[in-house]
Amino acid sequence: MISLSFYGAAGMVTGSKYLVTVNDQRVLVDCGMFQGRKELRKLNWEPPAFKPESVAGVILTHGHIDHIGYLPRLVRFGYRGPVFATHPTVDIAKLSLLDAAHIQMEDAEYRNKKKLTSHEKALPLFDDEDVAAIDAMYQAAPFDTWTEVTDRIRFRLHPAGHILGAASVELELTDDDRKVSVLFSGDVGRYGNPLTRNPGEPPSTDYLVCESTYGGRIHPPEDAHQDFIDLIREAVERKSVLLIPAFAIGRTQQVTFLIDRLIEHGLVPDIDIHIDSPMAISATDIYCKYASLHSIDLQKLGGKNCVLHGKRVHLHRKRKSSKLLNKMKGPAVILSSSGMLTGGRIMHHLINRLPDPRTTVALVGFMAEGTTGRRLVDGADRIYIHKQPVEVKARVKTLHGLSGHADYYELLHWAENITPAPKRVFVTHGEASQAAAMAGHFRTERGWDCHIPALEETVTL
């Protein structure tokens, strides 16, 4: 018997976790952290609904925390098997888990110091020792090559665009008398992104588990460049700061690359770019290390140095240097994390700059429900950081064109070559309205049988 259980990203975007069972053998695809609403975040503290030691392998689609952030918990609850991912994803996973551990530890320390906790003592969800315990478990898997997990389960990774190293996972499952294939889309990237490669062509499959982050939306055509041109020109004229909260991995490199190109092409005046996130700086090193996996040769463009470390890019690793940015007058661009404004150094920039009407905050990524980022997108004139009110006097601008996720039209295009039709499509990784819209598009455009699974639902394949 073969079954598929949805332990995350079902009816929501975060917490991706799909358990596949073939008789008594099990594999987990992604092991993500829940983010956003408090009731969701609480789930990260729960033990898994399955025995971790019964899982033969974990396969990661990519290194974003909503796809890997529960790994340290899984290991703490007893998982000891291999963690398969592409080479860049392994590097990114190590980096982002360590960063997440530090954020958790600092946050717990801060809450305890300020007595902000309603519990006896605030604890981190996981710490750096939990993360270090995973190091020996990683097994790098190349694209387009079959890797065996057990005698009944093998997988192959296909490029998905999105961020460096991101993959779709094709599983081949062998029951006593049949073979069944399941394709997990992972996060599918956009086409024509200046930095990241286009998503590859997915293989045909019996079952498809497809993301739907933007299942009901179409990204407006290439206005991101014009928006950036306007915002940078304005920042230079007004000698002001353009503050850009950005995911440390992927978005920061994309924005840095874009601004650098705009300057090089004479479309905007020269402006200093400050990357204020140790993780983004390390992630940039990983991007430079795997330059051949981008659509653009970073080394060549930047001369001797990688363009992402160009002359106008200033890196702030140390906390002291980050704090000094508070006093900095423009014109300048500050890129800081976390991307959805859920923690990290961006928070002190928000406290400092949101009440200042000369600042512009450009929101360039997806903001999940319940995050501070989402409240800003929705036009809040006051937000709360560590329970303290912060007035929003700065101008807040949402830029859609830089999304790391395919819109529904691009998802339909990506899935175009999956023929014959999958027996069933499971639409996941989207808020309810987006998942419903994506399922609707697959039904009307392709006539595909779609199901939107509920959290913790198990289906037989």
Binding site residues, Zn ion, CB under 5 A:
64, 187
Q: How far is the CB of 167 from Zn ion (least distance, A)?
A: 11
Residue 48 sits at the vertex; the CA angle it makes with 43 and 51, to the nearest 5 degrees, is 175
For residues 307 and 46, what is the distance between their CA atoms, to the nearest angstrom? 43
User: Closest separation between CB of residue 295 and Zn ion, Å?
Assistant: 18
Q: Please, which residue, 187 or 276, has the CB nearer to Zn ion?
A: 187
Q: Which is nearer to Zn ion, 64 or 219 (CB)?
A: 64
Q: Which helix (H) or strand (E) holds 434?
A: helix 432-441
Q: Find the shortest distance in angstroms from Cβ 190 to Zn ion.
A: 12
Strand partners, 20: 4, 27
Alpha-carbon separation of residue 439 from 214, 217, 300, 410 (angstroms): 12, 13, 43, 14
Q: Report the residue number, 68 or 281, with the smaller CB distance to Zn ion.
A: 68
Is residue 262 within 8 Å of residue 363, measured between CB atoms? no
Question: Which residue, 187 or 227, has its beta carbon nearer to Zn ion?
Answer: 187
Nearer to Zn ion, 92 or 461 (CB): 92
Of 48 and 186, which has the nearer Cβ to Zn ion?
186
CB of 143 to Zn ion, least distance (A): 17
At which residue do the structure tokens 């007893």 appear? 78
Cα–Cα distance between 362 and 406 in angstroms, integer?
Answer: 20
Distance (Å, whole) CA 19 – CA 58: 9
Task: Judge contact between 75 and 134, C-beta under 8 A.
Answer: yes
Q: How far is the CB of 348 from Zn ion (least distance, A)?
A: 25
To 5 degrees, how large is the angle CA 440–CA 429–CA 146? 105
d(CA 39, CA 455) in angstroms, rounded, equals 13
Q: Exposure string (b/e) for 181-212, b if CB count within 10 Å is 16 or more?
A: bbbbbbbbbbeebebbbbbbebeebbbbbbbb
Q: Give yes or no for a contact between 289 and 86, defined as CB atoms under 8 angstroms apart.
A: no
Residue nearest to Zn ion (CB): 64
Nearest approach, Cβ of 205 to Zn ion (angstroms)? Answer: 21
Q: Which is nearer to Zn ion, 66 or 130 (CB)?
A: 66
Between 69 and 124, name the residue whose CB sits nearer to Zn ion. Answer: 69
Phi, psi of 253 (to 5 degrees): -65, -40
C-beta closer to Zn ion: residue 61 or 284 = 61
The residue among 187 and 260 lying less far from Zn ion, judged by its C-beta, is 187
* Shortest reach from residue 195's CB to Zn ion, in Å: 15
DSSP 6-41: E-SSSSSSS---EEEEETTEEEEE--PPP-SSHHHH
What 3-state class would DSSP assign to 211?
Answer: strand
Closest distance to Zn ion from the beta carbon of 342 (Å): 15
Interatomic CA distance for residues 454 and 461, integer angstroms: 16
Minimum distance between the CB of residue 271 and Zn ion, rounded to whole angstroms? 28
Minimum Å gap between C-beta 329 and Zn ion is 35
User: At residue 275, what are phi and psi to the nearest 5 degrees?
Assistant: -95, 110
Q: In the block, which residue shows the tokens 């980096």?
A: 95
